Amino acid sequence: MPYFSIIVPVYNRVDEVDDLLGSLSQQTSKDFEVILVEDGSSERCEAVVAKFEDKVDVKYFYKENEGRSIARNYGMERASGEYFLFFDSDCVIPERYVATLRDALRSGYTDCFGGPDAAHNSFTDMQKAINYSMTSFLTTGGIRGGKVQLEKFVPRTFNMGFSRKVWEKVGGFREMFSEDIDMSTRIRQAGFSISLIRDAYVYHKRRNNLKSFCRQTYVFGMSRITLYMLYPDSLKLVHMLPAVFVIGVVTMALLSLLWSWWWIMPLAAYLLAVFVCALFSTKSLKISLLSIVTSVVQLGAYGLGFIKAYVWKVLLRHGRNVDEEVKLRKGK
């Protein structure tokens, strides 16, 4: 019986599954099974799974579309491992990931863990720029696995795991946006330990264009208010900074038009800092320039989503009831 059960929800991601299973077939440790749950895809990946059946212990399940959280819960119900791992289908796993994680758990066991993500050399320049803006302290405050953090570390489902005992006590994921943050909060409230294992990183492709990235971060901003309504103590200063960024940019733009262009200098200085740090990190002029754009898109979209949800749900008390928004279809 394998120690790890790797659970991956999939929805119309044939090429991504090919890359993911290819990377898992190269693992130096084989102490795992893969539970791949196809969540009602119109483009099914059965043929891709068949390519790797002699290289990876992979179990394929197809179900009607209900959402990624329900798919993860479906996978856990069919897993045989003692420790569940969760990846997104757009991840590529370094060959020593499983071995590194097993060694880390042996030397310092934790009930739940999360790891960071990185950009693979094969990624496009836009993907690398998005990866930078999603992991930089200047844009996220280090809350996604950076060296400096402005809040307690919260595992994310692109690279997250917890024990079977956690699942048996806490239950499955809720079908909601930011379900991984909700799950991590419930795990911590139940008294389980949560750790960041820095060496257990994955290559995360994320979005590959600005439109989809903008939409994703806008939803992140809105979902932060849902989490605030569920857990009032969870809202920290770092979560408000994108909204402050949006208000600040609008204010500086108006002041520069009405009085003096000097009012725009704080924004220019910040964007210069993003460029310099990105250049130091990526060693690429093009990616550093793109990082300015992706950082503005990320902060702007998140901030707008945050402001809209706060005004609509908190101040005006409109929108769906929180219990309806996070209603569990399976697990609790």
Each residue's pLDDT tens digit, 119-157? 888 889 999 999 999 888 888 765 554 444 445 688 999
Q: Which two tokens stand for residue 47?
A: 């043929």
> Is the sign of the CA dihedral 68, 70, 73, 75 positive or negative?
negative
CA distance 56 to 99: 15
The pLDDT tens digits of the residues spanning 295-310 come to 999 999 999 999 999 9
Q: Can you give the pTM of this predicted structure?
A: 0.85
CA distance 279 to 317: 44
Q: Provide the mean pLDDT of the chain.
A: 90
- To which residue do tokens 């990105």 refer? 278
The per-residue pLDDT for 201 is 94
The per-residue pLDDT for 320 is 56
The pLDDT tens digits of the residues spanning 211-227 come to 999 999 999 999 999 99
